[in-house]
Amino acid sequence: MINTKFYDGFEGEPELVLTDGENKLIIWYGYFETVLDSLLDNNLEKRGIIKEYFNHEGWYDDSPWVIQDLRLTIAQMKSFDINTLDASEDMKSVLADLVNEIIHFLENAKNKTVVIEYD
- Looking at the chain, list the stretches that DSSP marks H as alpha helix, in order from N- to C-terminal side: 29-41, 48-55, 70-78, 89-108
Average pLDDT, the chain: 90
Instruction: Select from 4, 1, 16, 12 the least CA-distant residue to 115.
Output: 16
Model pLDDT for residues 9-64, shown as the tens digit of each residue: 999 999 999 999 999 999 999 999 999 989 888 877 888 888 888 777 765 666 78
- Residue 63: the pLDDT is 74
Domain hosting residue 108, numbered range? 2-118
- Residue 84: the pLDDT is 85
CA angle 28, 1, 108 (to 5 degrees): 90
Instruction: Label residue 94 exposed, middle or buried (CB < 10 Å: 0-12, 13-18, 19+).
Output: middle
Q: Structural domain tally of the chain?
A: 1
- Residue 42: the pLDDT is 81
**pLDDT grade, residue 96 (50/70/90)?**
very high
29 neighbors 16 (Cβ within 8 angstroms): yes
Work out the percent of the chain whose per-residue pLDDT is above 70: 96
Rounded average pLDDT over 73-94: 91
Instruction: Select from 106, 8, 16 the least CA-distant residue to 59.
Output: 16
Query: 50-54, 89-93, 97-101: lowest mean pLDDT where?
Result: 50-54
The residues that bridge with 6 in the sheet, in sequence order, are 27
